Amino acid sequence: MRRSRADSDASHAKLSRRAALLGGVQLLFMGGLAARMNYLQVDQADQFRLLAEENRINIRLIPPSRGEIFDRNGVRLAQNVPSYRIVIVREDADDVDAVMDQLSQVIKLDPEMRERALAEIKRSAPFLPVTVADNVSWDDVSRVSVNTPALPGVSPEVGLTRVYPRGSDFAHIVGRVGRVSQADLDALEDPDAVLRIPRFQIGKINVEARQESLLRGVAGTKQVEVNATGRVMRELARREGQSGADLQLTIDSKLQNYVQARLGTESAAVVVIDCENGDLVTSASSPSYDPNLFVGGISSADYNPLLESKYRPLVNKTVQGTYPPGSTYKMMVALAALEAGIAGPDDTTYCPGFLEVGGRRFHCWKRAGHGWVDLETSLEQSCDVYYYDLALKVGIEKISAMANRFGLGIKHDLPLSSVAAGLAPTKQWKQSARGADWVIGDTVNASIGQGFTLSSPLQLALMTARIATNRIVTPRLIKSIDGIEQPSGAGDPLGISENNIRKVRKGMQVVVNDRRGTAYRSRIIADDMRMAGKTGTSQVRNITAAERARGVSRNEDLPWERRDHALFVAFAPYDKPRYALSVLVEHGGGGSAAAAPIARDVMLQALYGGEPPLEAYPTADRDRIAAQQEQLRKIQPQAAINGKDQA
């Protein structure tokens, strides 16, 4: 049946509308596609070009050369030396195990490191080099190079590593570096990207750590072209970094070496300060350790003995160790009384061998007592009763305030790890720290540097330098940075009456130079080098009434850990002080017997700039000193004696 014309026209109109709608949709789609293509190819062209380049070009960091460390005379204390290692590339080696076996015939391979290398090879891309032997000798490098045809994929590489040419002498000052650990990264809020470079070394303790930002330098960069698998095809550009700053310390390496040799196996510390500028000329802690063992990672066999030793070689006793200062604290009590006008230098106190306070007897070290003593005699013979009585008149607040003025109980700003503040106790301190009231016996104990009072050898040397100069001498360890001199530690006037401080100095002078002085046997007889000082002995145990009744046990009859600490502080020359020092011998017994002889030897070495003439010693000591000097010459490295190994 034929369709009517009206039906045909209606059907055609419907098809036309559908075609128009479909065409519109297609046109809209094509327009959107064209707009998107325009956006991607024109508007975003630069962005996608950059992304493409980043897939092809990598920016890689070049580790900077670490700054070196020198002593005051330019002797290297920490330096960078070439470090050779042997690497293997898996895709070039084919049979890695067979090549490793062949390599072990050429050089000695550590089995543990070989296992680590094999594990790393399995994890790494086949074209990346993996270290199989680290810190190898030049002879090993030569042997590997000669046998290269028989060792496919094996090659030597060279880098820089830290070396400490003076070994244990400076471990407690310079410190050491080690590979960056996760703990190092976690401790930093925004870690430098260079710290993530494999085998990168960072300062761990002391100057190496505290001056890390200066020593590290700034990393360089290089642009390399890589293919789709990450293989480096070529280097496109390079920007060199900036080496770390070189540091010059105030320490004299020759004197430092002598002191370490003189201390020998003693558990002890010595600090020598230049009175003119506060320079730490020597800061020696014994026993020490070789920091080179830590650079590449120390073994348990080497580390455990250091950790377990009762002499604590890992601890820097000069600044970390705090000890009762014993009778070296008596100068603070005397100055507090003199400055307060409570006592005069000619006032006398009777010492019967004890002072009874609150129903308790506080004994003098001399059981029979010293009789009538004034300030000078009290220092000369180290009478305890004189200071018991004086402290009760002055009070603990004035004594501790005076100690603070002389650098005790203060944490000093030095680029060393774990610098201790010590303690010059007060009533408020005891209440807050111990939850107890201050009692009169606490003041009596503090008057002779016992009880709660604690000081480090650094603080005692600083106290002595301030007594010698009447200035606020501050300790300085960094002499210059990249040749730029650092501020002096000479300090402003201390503000103590010169007449009062002169009386204390005179008392210290007779301690060493008067026949009745506790350190007379350690005197210097060269007229222009005469030394003033003060002995100290600090107890580490309580002496019971029963023990006093039967006789106090001698230190040599006690176990080492229960013996008294021996201390001595001094400055010289007396008329024009140049150096101040402190000596601590842990559990050494009496300060006059154990610490003062060391102090005299060290002071003479400092004053003469090397081995002193025997004429500076008393006649009776010269044969012994000559034998001692001969023995020390054998211990000291010849380079240290001659002052060689300079930059």
Catalytic residues: 327
Q: State both tokens at 324.
A: 């009762």
Cα 410 from Cα 57, distance rounded (Å): 55
Is the Cβ–Cβ distance between 547 and 558 less than 8 Å?
Answer: no
Closest by CA position to 580, among listed 564, 568, 566: 568
Q: What is the largest CA-CA distance in the chain?
A: 153
- In this structure, what are the phi and psi dihedrals at residue 616, rounded to the nearest 5 degrees? -75, -15
**Phi/psi of residue 507, each to 5°?**
-60, -40
Structure tokens at 183: 């703990």
Q: Which of 212, 113, 117, 116 is nearest to 162 (CA)?
A: 212
Q: Half-sphere exposure of residue 405, counting CA atoms within 13 Å on the CB side?
A: 20
Letter for the amino acid at 463?
Answer: M
β 69-70/247-249 pair status: parallel
Tokens of 612: 């002193």
Neighbouring-strand partners of residue 226: 232
Q: State whether residue 484 is helix, strand or coil.
A: strand
Q: What is the DSSP string of 222-286?
A: EEEEE-TT--EEEEEEEE--BPPPPEEES--HHHHHHHHHHHTT--EEEEEEETTT-BEEEEEEE
Task: Work out whether strand 579-585 and strand 565-572 pair parallel, antiparallel, or are unpaired.
Answer: antiparallel
Report the b/e string of 194-222 with b at 16+ CB within 10 A: bbeeeebbbbbbbbbbbbbebbbbebbeb
- Give the number of residues written for the chain: 647
Say if residues 219 and 244 touch (Cβ distance below 8 Å). Answer: no
Burial 224-240 (b: 16+ CB within 10 A, else e): beeeeeeeeeeeeeeee
- For residue 170, give the nearest of 50, 57, 252 by alpha carbon: 252
421 CB-side CA count, 13 A: 7
Phi-psi label, residue 183: left if phi above 0, alpha if psi -120 to 50, beta otherwise: alpha
Strand order of the β-sheet with 232-239 is 57-62, 220-226, 232-239
- Cβ proximity of 319 and 515 under 8 Å: no
**Nearest Cα residue to 120 out of 133, 129, 109:** 129
CA 337 to chain centroid, in Å, comes to 37
Contact 166, 257 (CB under 8 A): yes
- Token pair recorded at residue 272: 């020598």
Cis peptide before 559 (omega within 30 of 0): no
